[in-house]
């Protein structure tokens, strides 16, 4: 297993993965991540006239939702492929290519900085959080979500259990270690506190990911993620249909009408910049 943390290796791994995932993201995994957009905006206090930075903006889901509230959003991402999708989908909005760890904006530029399920993909989340603090006005708020631990997230648990039973859970062990293991409130709060945020809160948010068939979970994780996609791609030849069948069998209890409602959980956290 690769346990050596090298920020540039993490960045290269994540960047290549998101470049690859961009074209299929909105049609697959975005249907899961979109479930947390409105609660993120509510927690950030985004209203008409708010100057908002959407970090790790991807295809622009949060940026567009902020604009619908009358805010003045800017989306930023390091993936040119993701930004191409964002600009195609939302040509009236502004998107910048850049690094969350080194934001290209002056101090005190924004009323709110947001990141929906993106901070944990940054090689050094502490640097990204510190940069968010810098570009916020006093009293502004950094608000972000991160995925709860796989043990608490049914979609991942279904997949990982199937891989353990029928594949190789260590198949992607050579991938660089993550820069941010932010799957609990206890992991997230020190990140905000150590950066200098004055008021810090974190809590679990429970939603449902609606899919037509359980196989759609595997397809979305294979096409719309990076680390989980690497694990799926690394499975032995011929095993994936067996894994999909095992996921389908285990997901039977989540059937709802003509589809399936799979529970998903994120950690929603915010910190307020000191001052007035």
237: phi then psi, degrees, rounded to nearest 5 = -55, 135
159-212 pLDDT, tens digit per residue, is 999 999 999 999 988 888 776 689 999 999 999 999 999 999 999 999 999 999
Residue 95, beta-bridge partner list: 75
107 secondary structure, DSSP code: T
For residue 241, name the pLDDT band (cuts at 50, 70, 90). Answer: very high
Strand partners, 269: 144, 202
Dist. CA 111–CA 120, nearest whole Å: 22
- 7-25 and 215-224 helices, crossing angle to 10°: 130
Token pair 């956290």 in the structure block, residue: 269
Residue where the block lists tokens 């290796």: 9
The Cα 149–Cα 58 span in angstroms is 22
Q: What is the pTM of this model?
A: 0.94
- Please name every residue paired with 75 in a beta bridge, in sequence order, or none if there are none: 54, 95
pLDDT in tens, 27-71: 999 999 999 999 999 999 999 999 999 999 999 999 999 999 999
């Amino acid at each position: 297993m690769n346990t050596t943390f090298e920020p540039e290796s993490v960045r290269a791994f994540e960047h290549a993965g998101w470049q690859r995932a961009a074209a299929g993201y909105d049609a697959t995994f975005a249907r899961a991540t979109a479930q947390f957009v409105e609660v993120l905006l509510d927690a950030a206090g985004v209203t008409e006239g708010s100057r908002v930075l959407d970090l790790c903006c991807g295809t622009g889901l949060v940026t567009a939702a902020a604009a619908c509230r009358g805010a003045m959003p800017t989306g930023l991402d390091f993936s040119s492929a993701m930004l191409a999708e964002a600009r195609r989908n939302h040509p009236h909005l502004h998107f910048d290519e850049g690094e969350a760890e080194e934001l290209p904006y002056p101090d005190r530029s924004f009323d709110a900085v947001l990141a929906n399920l993106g901070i944990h993909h940054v090689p050094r989340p502490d640097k990204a959080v510190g940069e968010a603090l810098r570009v916020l006005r006093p009293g502004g708020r950094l608000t972000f979500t991160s995925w709860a631990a796989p043990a608490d997230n049914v979609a991942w648990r279904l997949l990982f259990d199937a891989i353990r039973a029928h594949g190789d859970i260590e198949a992607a062990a050579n991938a660089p270690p993550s820069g941010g293991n932010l799957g609990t409130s206890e992991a997230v709060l020190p990140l905000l506190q150590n950066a200098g945020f004055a008021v810090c809160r974190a809590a679990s948010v429970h939603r449902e990911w609606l899919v037509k068939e359980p196989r759609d979970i595997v397809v979305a994780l294979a096409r719309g993620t990076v680390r989980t996609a690497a694990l799926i791609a690394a499975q032995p030849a011929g095993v994936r249909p067996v894994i999909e069948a095992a996921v389908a069998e285990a997901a039977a209890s989540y059937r709802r009408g003509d589809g399936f409602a799979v529970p998903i959980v994120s950690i929603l956290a915010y910190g307020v910049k000191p001052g007035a």
